[in-house]
Chain A
Amino acid sequence: MYRKAVVLLLILIGYLLQSTMIRILPLGGVAPNFLIILTSCFGFMRGKKDGMYAGFISGLILDVLFGELIGFYALIYMVIGYLNGFFASIFYPEDIKLPVFLITSSELVYCFIVYVFRFLIQGKIHFGYYFLHIILPEIVYTIFVTIIIYKVILNINEWLEDLERRNI
């Protein structure tokens, strides 16, 4: 119960940061993708199911507020969360290399899917431009933010697991 509330709150905060921070920080109009970080983190920290749910909720918020097709982002984020869950068995909290690698890959896959389904389909074939001006900055900011907030998410997760152990 605690976990659901906390995860929901984290996702909400992530979305708010992502959509309002961009107007305050001078990042050249590109924001780090907090929702991918959260989805991916819950995937490899907690397993397929939690990653999947976190992704589904994250995507749904984006869909409702900005999407034209409701369910599009929900599906992408959900599958990304699920796939990250496969790495739960080789995840060690002390090692930051795997999280950074997984989050970067998730981000890359996410951007690529968005490009293919929303841009390539309209005949916009300059992948190089989109890669350099949108995907690459987004990935760099996301990695940067990951390194900062990874510990925070990790601590929240450990605190939640502690709570659950005591309650059961």
Chain B
Amino acid sequence: MARNRSGRNKINIPSKYVLLALSVICVIMMVLSYATDMMSIVPQTVAGYTVIPFQKAISYAGNWLFNRSESIRELEELRIENEELKETVKQLTIRINDLTTDKYELAELRQLMALDERYSDYPTVGARVIGKDAGNWYSTFLIDKGSNDGIKVNMNVMAGAGLVGIVTSVGPNWATVRSIIDDDSNISAMVLNTSDTMIVTGDLELYSKGNIKFSDLRDEDDAVAEGDQIVTSQISDKYLPGISIGYIKEINSDSNNLTKSGYLTPVVDFEHLDIVLVITQMKQTKD
């Protein structure tokens, strides 16, 4: 084996001492990054200018190629579909006339219910997902906007109509987002129509069945039922209030007879995240 390359005028330190030294460095880094913010600035800036550009390029190229091959394949299908669609258009025009009447009625009823989505007022920045956590254990992902675009840690991230997660670390041109289905995620939430609060906890094991867990729901009048909408609560210290999380799928009484827990179905499809919206408004806190 070519391990002992003599002829080099370098001092050869036995490998076990190097291992020991590097292990100590690792432990020191772990303690530093746990106790202080020191470790998060320098390496993340370095990563922002070395690894991230490649990652962005690959992600864009991948998306481009994927879209290109799709569009060629779809061309033929589209031609056939076009014929069929022309036929349906005729039939549908007739139906539209019927539905327009219903539409006005619906708009009126909606106004009455005041279902206006409050969070549509929040200022947002669009970002593209460029990578997923390299391990298979976590549901964190990278986006292509960072502190240069005004993104800060603890900003909320949405996709479409629902909450995706929260920014956990930021580099100059990238940020990591921990999604609400991640095992480390805990959110204070509430039922939209009764304002009862609960804790929503991400769970890797449950998400494969399409669920997230909730617990600590106090509902003495049994007013909460399956299908109720869950939004982020006012008392959460990191999440803005009123962002939709999901709908109750199953609800059970806990053995203490005081609280309830169960499962909810998230609004966002976490398997197919491409564009996300980062809310640049932060929750006001005491400090």
Binding site for B on A (CB under 8 A): 12, 15-16, 18-20, 22-24, 29-31, 33, 35, 46-49, 52, 56, 60-66, 68-72, 74-75, 78-79, 82, 85, 88-89, 91, 114-115, 118-119, 122, 124, 126, 129-130, 133-134, 137-138, 161, 164, 168
| Contact digits for B1-41, partner A, Cβ 8 Å, 1 yes 0 no | 11101011000000110110011011111101110000110
Question: Which residue among A31, A48, A68 has the maximum number of chain B CB atoms within 10 Å of its CB?
Answer: A68
Q: Which of B103-111, B130-138, B151-159, B225-233 faces chain A?
A: B130-138
Question: Which residue among B25, B26, B46 has the maximum number of chain A CB atoms within 10 Å of its CB?
Answer: B26
Contact (Cβ within 8 A) A20 B55? yes
Say whether B81 faces chain A, with CB atoms less than 8 Å apart. no
| Set of chain B residues within 8 Å of A79, measured between Cβ atoms | 19, 23
By the criterion of a CB under 8 Å from any partner CB, how many residues of chain B are at the interface?
Answer: 53
Closest to B174 in A: A65
Contact (Cβ within 8 A) B205 A16? no
CA gap between A48 and B16 in the complex, in Å: 9
CA gap between A33 and B34 in the complex, in Å: 26
Contact (Cβ within 8 A) A66 B271? no
Contact (Cβ within 8 A) B134 A71? no
Question: Which residue among A35, A46, A48 has the maximum number of chain B CB atoms within 10 Å of its CB?
Answer: A48
Say whether B43 faces chain A, with CB atoms less than 8 Å apart. yes
CA gap between A71 and B132 in the complex, in Å: 20
Smallest CB separation, B171 vs chain A (Å):
9
Say whether B176 faces chain A, with CB atoms less than 8 Å apart. yes
Closest to B138 in A: A66
Given A16-B58, A24-B62, does the pair A75, B26 have CB atoms closer than 8 Å? yes
Given A24-B66, A49-B18, A64-B44, does the pair A19, B26 have CB atoms closer than 8 Å? no
| Set of chain A residues within 8 Å of B28, measured between Cβ atoms | 71
Contact (Cβ within 8 A) B62 A20? yes
Question: Which residue among B25, B29, B135 has the maximum number of chain A CB atoms within 10 Å of its CB?
Answer: B135
| Set of chain B residues within 8 Å of A137, measured between Cβ atoms | 136
Given A47-B3, A89-B1, does the pair A19, B205 have CB atoms closer than 8 Å? no
CA gap between A69 and B140 in the complex, in Å: 15
5 A-B pairs closest in CB distance: A71-B29, A71-B26, A75-B26, A71-B30, A70-B33
Contact (Cβ within 8 A) B33 A62? no
Closest to A88 in B: B1
| Contact digits for B167-187, partner A, Cβ 8 Å, 1 yes 0 no | 010000000100000010000
Contact (Cβ within 8 A) A66 B3? no
CA gap between A31 and B136 in the complex, in Å: 7
Closest to A22 in B: B132
Can you list 18 A-B pairs, Cβ within 8 angstroms, ordered by A?
Answer: A16-B58, A20-B131, A22-B132, A23-B132, A31-B134, A49-B15, A52-B15, A52-B19, A52-B22, A62-B134, A63-B43, A69-B34, A70-B32, A75-B27, A114-B135, A114-B137, A115-B137, A134-B204
User: Given A30, A69, A115, A133, which contacts B30 in the complex, CB threshold below 8 Å?
Assistant: A69
User: Given B3, B5, B135, B204, which contacts A88 in the complex, CB threshold below 8 Å?
Assistant: B3
| Set of chain B residues within 8 Å of A15, measured between Cβ atoms | 51, 134
Closest to B132 in A: A22
Question: Which residue among A15, A19, A91, A124 has the maximum number of chain B CB atoms within 10 Å of its CB?
Answer: A19
Say whether B281 faces chain A, with CB atoms less than 8 Å apart. no
Closest to A17 in B: B58
| Set of chain A residues within 8 Å of B71, measured between Cβ atoms | none
Given A75-B27, A134-B137, does the pair A16, B3 have CB atoms closer than 8 Å? no
